[in-house]
C-alpha cells in the first residue's frame, strides 16, 4: 500500500466509487444479456413447435 498522505480518503473514495460503477455496469449488462438470450431461445422453440 503506497503512502497516500493526507489525501488518502479522497483517492480511495474516488477509486471505490469508479470501480463500483464499472463493475455494476458490467454485471447489469451481462445479467440482462443472459436473461434476454434465454427468453429468445424459449420463444424461438415455442414458435417453431407451433408454426
CB 11 within 8 A of CB 4: yes
Q: How far is CA 39 from the centre of its chain?
A: 19
Please tell me the distance from the alpha carbon of residue 29 to that of residue 39, in angstroms, as a whole number.
15
- The binding track of 8-47 with respect to other proteins, each residue x by CB under 8 A or -, is x-xx-xxx-xx--xx-xxx--xx-xx--xx-xx--xx--x
Q: How many residues bind other proteins (CB under 8 A)?
A: 33
Summarize as ranges the residues that interact with other proteins (CB under 8 A).
2-8, 10-11, 13-15, 17-18, 21-22, 24-26, 29-30, 32-33, 36-37, 39-40, 43-44, 47-48, 50-51
Amino acid at each position: 500500500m503506497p503512502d497516500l498522505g493526507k489525501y488518502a480518503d479522497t483517492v480511495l473514495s474516488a477509486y471505490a466509487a469508479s470501480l463500483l460503477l464499472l463493475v455494476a455496469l458490467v454485471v447489469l449488462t451481462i445479467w440482462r444479456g443472459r436473461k434476454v438470450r434465454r427468453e429468445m431461445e424459449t420463444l424461438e422453440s415455442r414458435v417453431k413447435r407451433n408454426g
